[in-house]
Structure 1
Amino acid sequence: MDIILIPGLWLDASSWSDVSSDLERAGHRVHPLTMPGVGEPAERSSGIGISDWVEAAVAAVDAVVDTAGGPVVVVGHSGGGNVAWGVADARPDAVSRVVFVDTVPPPSGMGISEFDVVDGVIPFPGWSHFPAEDVDDLDEATRARTEPLTASVPARVPTDPIDLPSGGRHRVPVTMLMGGFDQQTLESELAEWGPYADEFRAIDDVEVVRIGSGHWPQFSVPGRLATLIDAAAARR
């Protein structure tokens, strides 16, 4: 199976290295992406928004399908889940499954989040910025190793509303690999999130699997994450 791996904010293709190795050993062809404008100064990235990230990921899917001739699995971590959902909406017949990694499918018109803009870009705010449940499974060695891998993202990307016009995404099967939530807990949380709950309920085929990790399982439990992605890719 061809698997497209979309990183979240501040990360590039290298953030998937450990997961990619395990997936390749399982027999998959893996395509980790670096999104446009990551690490670029404002003068080169100010015009880049979430739609450009979606277009880049759609182009990657198209290239794989043109070469391999079959549908692909699209994986999105954190804010990369918005991109993955945009791909599913644009190419529902080319995507066999979307796998969300500790994030949820966004409704049309919603952004990722807001972060401080510095010199026209959004730098990684540091591990201490995030709540304990997101980072407690990242030990000091892992934090020290991974923080230098982060880079700024274009200022518009986190706040741009995602445009999902087709509705075709709802017929693409979905696996949600959640750090600490099982399906019952997630559905209870989503009940408070208005349009996010409506988006979740609109999906024809969706499963929720608890990872048992913080927000960055590709760093804390890459082997476990790869096993769960492999299992999701095998479902029909």
Structure 2
Amino acid sequence: MADTAVHVVLVPGFWLGGWAWDDVVGPLRDAGLVPHPVTLPGMTDDAPDRATVTREDQVEAVRALAAGLDGPVVLVGHSGGGALVGEVVDRDPGRYARVVYLDSGPLVDGAALNPPLPPGVTDIPLPAWEELEAQGSSLAGLDDGALTRFRERAVPQPGLVATGVARMADPGRFAVPVTAVCTSISAEQLMALASHDAPFHTELLDYPDLTFVDLPTGHWAMFSRPAELAAALVQACRD
């Protein structure tokens, strides 16, 4: 892929829009790649339909974007965006040159990221920092400025996306090369913990062409180590 312009579709995790990749897209462009930071349906401040946005809506938005690009496509999914990316690849495995899971991985068929919400609750606001860390989402590497920006720009996560189940059906997805960028836990830890069972419910280790990259930091590497993350993505596109 070194001599071909590669499209890099950047899918953020919960509470984030395409702005989350602001410090990553410049280095990708400098390396000759074509980045596409994604703001998923329902993930803007003024979204009128957040309560009705489904996983299918977000999966289809990414699939349609990738389908309209001319040339190789590398999908990058962070956190909950990784689960979406897994479903996108399942829809058309032959379209993608590689998938990069950033502190994330593809779910097994029928798994959900979150349990059902209480009656009347339609979205999930960004929790307090202490709650996020207690849930295992490390804030390591984020200074006060980064935390303030994150809090100011975050929007509630649509409940139907968070609680909807993944649908994986095409075995051709296992032929797509995968890179797992490990930030809040190491590759060694991930290999020991990743399975179809709780807590991850991931099929990540089922992919035969799987490369691990360690990038020690917290869960949000696009904020804490954007230059190093960009370098890892450039290398993934060249592999």
Are residue 44 (structure 1) and residue 52 (structure 2) matched?
A: no
- TM normalised by structure 1 equals 0.89
Aligned mate of 2:235, from 217, 231, 235: 231
Tell me whether 76-85 or 191-200 shows the greater mean CA deviation: 191-200
Aligned mate of 2:165, from 145, 161, 165: 161
Task: State the alpha-carbon separation in 2 of the partners of residues 40 and 145 from structure 1.
Answer: 14
Task: State the alpha-carbon separation in 1 of the partners of residues 199 and 72 from structure 2.
Answer: 29
Instruction: Name the residue aligned to 2:84.
Output: 83
Which SS does the other structure have where 2:126 is aligned?
A: coil
Shift of 1:205: 0.5
**Which residue identity is paired with 1:144?**
T
**Which residue identity is paired with 1:57?**
V
Task: State the alpha-carbon separation in 2 of the partners of residues 116 and 216 from structure 1.
Answer: 25
Shift of 1:125: 1.3
Instruction: Name the residue aligned to 2:145.
Output: 141
Aligned mate of 2:14, from 5, 9, 12: 9
Task: State the alpha-carbon separation in 1 of the partners of residues 42 and 30 from structure 2.
Answer: 31
Aligned mate of 1:174, from 168, 171, 178: 178
Instruction: Name the residue aligned to 1:129.
Output: 131
Shift of 1:141: 2.0
The percentage of aligned residue pairs carrying the same residue is 32
**Which residue identity is paired with 2:180?**
M
Shift of 1:40: 6.2
CA RMSD of aligned residues (A): 2.4
- TM normalised by structure 2 equals 0.88
Contact 1:51 1:162 in 2 (8 A): no
Shift of 1:41: 7.5
Check 1:219–1:114 CA distance in 2 against 1; reply closer, same or farther (3 A cut): farther
**Which residue identity is paired with 1:134?**
S
Shift of 1:220: 0.5
Contact 2:183 2:218 in 1 (8 A): yes
Alignment coverage as a number of residue pairs: 231
Which SS does the other structure have where 1:24 is aligned?
A: helix
Are residue 188 (structure 1) and residue 192 (structure 2) matched?
A: yes
* Structure 2: gaps of 5 or more residues: 1-5
Contact 2:77 2:102 in 1 (8 A): yes
Task: State the alpha-carbon separation in 1 of the partners of residues 196 and 206 from structure 2.
Answer: 16
* Structure 1: gaps of 5 or more residues: none
Contact 1:39 1:153 in 2 (8 A): no
Task: State the alpha-carbon separation in 1 of the partners of residues 108 and 212 from structure 2.
Answer: 18
Which SS does the other structure have where 1:110 is aligned?
A: coil
Instruction: Name the residue aligned to 2:3.
Output: none
Check 1:19–1:159 CA distance in 2 against 1; reply closer, same or farther (3 A cut): same
